[in-house]
Amino acid sequence: MKKRVLLGMSGGIDSTVSAMLLIEQGYDVVGVTFRTFDSIKESCIAKEKGCCSIESIMEAKHNAERMGFEHHIVDFRDTFRQCVIQNFIDEYMSGHTPNPCVLCNSHIKWGELMRVADELHCDYIATGHYARTKEHEGKIYLAAAADERKDQTYFLWMLTEEQLRRTIFPLGDLTKDEVRTLAREHGYEKLATKRESQEICFIPDNDYRAFLRANVPDYNERVRAGEYVDAQGHVLGKHEGYVNYTIGQRKGLGIALGHPAFVTHIDANTNRVTLGTNDDLYATELRVKGLTVRELAEGVITAKIRYRSQAVPVTKIDESCITFATPVWGVTPGQSVVLYQDGFVIGGGLIA
């Protein structure tokens, strides 16, 4: 009997090519698309911005029908709002810069995907993420994808070994160019040339400030003009409210100091934003919360503090602090720090 695989489908090229590969490998594929957020802006839906638009859902259903396997649309909007969106709002209102994809992957895409897989009697789950799973001494680990430019393990570090044991990443050994070629060869030219969205799915116009204003009832009371200060606390000028800024920001500050200024600290309690130089953004350690580590027997441990950052060697790890061999730039509370060893993801935590 064929093994059944529940494939998370967004309607995009990666999950569509994943379906092709799974079918070719002899799996009985079942497609599922989550309805997590509906943008209220019709213009955004018309432009197909955001991975969860109605058009994307219908595209996923159409592709499943074209390839001849069953497809389900599951409404997770309430769970998504309570878990992912509320956390996004709470973190920003606390002066942090959250990464909603990390939470969504662990709690929604895998948490709910596992449950639906059981209901539909599927042995495995699969997604179009660029990542791999590998076994080491009888344990299953998340491992970096073959395409370093597209590797998405940074967003998947929260996945448990139980989840990974049932997970297939069909694209893990492929490059993005190879995926586009496969799409063309199977007659999906439109998908092969479609621009990829870099936006947060529930903020299709990429304006998180407008989203917060619309979704925080007491926004105007909590977000007011405040003071720019330097590292010593000297007042430098006025800003437009702490949530409008992120660590490392240089443009759009609305202040002239005679030299380049960068946001180095945000204090939601005092509504103060600290400005400094680029050098002030370098640090050799960071505080972390919720840290998990599955260290291998030997090998250098490295860490990433953001998706596109270079992994930096780590010299010390304890439950609340990570120390780096060389300074890292722009440590940002709310983001994830992800630990790697010999290409394996061995843990991570939230930067505090």
* Both structure tokens of 138: 């009888």
CA distance 82 to 215: 13
CA distance 194 to 73: 23
What is the torsion angle, in degrees rounded to the nearest 10, for the CA atoms of residue 186, residue 188, residue 193 and residue 199? -120
Give Cα 150 to chain centroid, integer Å: 13
Strands of the 235-239 sheet, one edge to the other: 235-239, 226-229, 272-276, 262-267
* Both structure tokens of 291: 């840290």
Question: Where on the phi/psi map is residue 75: left (φ > 0), alpha (ψ -120 to 50), or beta?
Answer: beta
Q: Which of 347, 328, 326 is nearest to 338 (CA)?
A: 347
Q: Which of 346, 345, 337, 341 is nearest to 289 (CA)?
A: 337
The catalytic residues are 104, 201
Q: Specify whether the CB–CB gap between 18 and 170 falls below 8 A.
A: yes
Angstrom distances, CA of residue 320 to CA of 92, 155, 243, 294, 328? 22, 21, 26, 16, 17
Q: Phi and psi at residue 108, in whole multiples of 5°?
A: -100, -65
Strands 28-35 and 4-8: parallel
- Residues with Cβ within 8 Å of 230's Cβ and at least 6 positions away in sequence, in order, are 236, 274, 275, 276
* Both structure tokens of 165: 């044991």
